[in-house]
Amino acid sequence: MIHRTKTRPVKVGNLTIGGSNELFIQSMTTTKTHDVDATVRQIERLEEAGCQIVRVAVPDERAARAIPDIKKRIHIPLVADIHFDYRLALIAIEGGVDKIRINPGNIGKREKVEAVVKAAKERGIPIRIGVNAGSLEKPILQKYGYPTADGMVESALHHIRILEDLDFHDIIVSMKASDVRLAIEAYEKAARTFDYPLHLGITESGTLFSGTIKSAAGIGTLLNMGIGNTLRISLSADPVEEVKVARELLKIFGLSSNAPTLVSCPTCGRIAIDLISIANEVEEYLQTIKAPIKVSVLGCAVNGPGEAREADIGIAGARGEGLLFRKGKIIRKVPEDKMVEELKKEIDMLAEAYYQK
Q: Does 319 bind ligand SF4 (CB under 6 A)?
A: no
Q: Rounded to the nearest whole angstrom, what is the least distance from the CB of residue 269 to ligand SF4 in the complex?
A: 7
What residues are paired with 326 via a beta bridge? 313, 329
Assess 303 for contact with ligand SF4 (CB under 6 A). Answer: yes
Calpha distance 121→276 (Å, rounded): 53
Nearest Cα residue to 162 out of 83, 103, 120, 115: 103
Residue 352 annotated in ligand binding:
no
Q: What is the nearest approach in angstroms of ligand SF4 to the Cβ of residue 265?
A: 3
318 belongs to the binding site for ligand SF4 (CB under 6 A) = no
Q: Which residues pair with 28 in a beta bridge?
A: 55
Q: Is 4 helix (H, G, I), strand (E, B) or coil?
A: coil
> Measuring CA to CA, which residue among 107, 101, 161 is closest to residue 125?
101
Least Å distance between CB 299 and ligand SF4? 3
Toward ligand SF4, which CB reaches closer, 222 or 273?
A: 273
| DSSP 8-state code for residue 35 | -
Q: Which CB, 124 or 266, lies closer to ligand SF4? A: 266
Distance between CA atoms of residues 320 and 239, nearest Å = 38
Q: Give the torsion through C-alpha atoms of 47, 49, 53, 54, to 10 deg.
A: -80
Window contacting ligand SF4 (CB under 6 A); options: 137-145, 159-167, 236-244, 292-300: 292-300
CA distance 175 to 153: 8
Whole-angstrom distance between the N-terminal and C-terminal Cα of the chain? 21
Residues in the chain: 357
Under the criterion CB under 6 A, does residue 274 sit at the interface with ligand SF4? no
How many residues sit in the footprint of ligand SF4 (CB under 6 A)?
A: 12
Q: Residue 133 or 343: which CB sits closer to ligand SF4? A: 343
Query: Minimum distance from CB of 317 to ligand SF4 (Å)?
Result: 7
Work out how close the CB of 276 gets to ligand SF4 at its nearest, in angstroms, rounded to a whole number. 11
b/e sequence 36-71, b meaning 16+ C-beta within 10 Å: beebbebbeebbebbbbbbbbbbbeeebbbbbeebb
Is 154 annotated among the ligand-binding residues? no
1 lines the binding site for ligand SF4 (CB under 6 A): no
Among 109, 145, 266, 356, which residue sits at the site for ligand SF4 (rule: CB under 6 A)? 266
Distances (CA, A) of 83 to 46, 100, 106, 115, 158: 24, 10, 8, 16, 17
Q: 113: closest CA among 94, 141, 85?
A: 85
CB of 24 vs ligand SF4, minimal distance in Å: 36
Considering only residues 15, 157, 263, 302, which one is a binding residue for ligand SF4 as defined by CB under 6 A?
302
User: From the list 240, 271, 318, 330, which residue makes contact with ligand SF4 (rule: CB under 6 A)?
Assistant: 271
By CB under 6 A, residue 270 contacts ligand SF4: yes
Q: Does 260 bind ligand SF4 (CB under 6 A)?
A: no
Q: Which residues lie closer than 8 Å to 135 by C-beta, 6 or more apart?
A: none
Nearer to ligand SF4, 19 or 328 (CB): 328
Separation of alpha carbons 52 and 94, rounded Å: 22
Q: Is 51 annotated as a binding residue?
A: no
CB 83 within 8 A of CB 102: yes
Binds ligand SF4 (CB under 6 A): choice among 53, 113, 162, 265: 265
Give the nearest distance from C-beta 227 to ligand SF4 in angstroms.
Answer: 35
Nearer to ligand SF4, 240 or 276 (CB): 276
**Cβ distance to ligand SF4 smaller for residue 233 or 279:** 279
- Residue numbers in the known binding site are 265, 268, 300, 307
Q: Which residues bind ligand SF4 (CB under 6 A)?
A: 265-268, 270-271, 298-300, 302-304
Q: Binding site membership for [4Fe-4S] cluster: which residues?
A: 265, 268, 300, 307
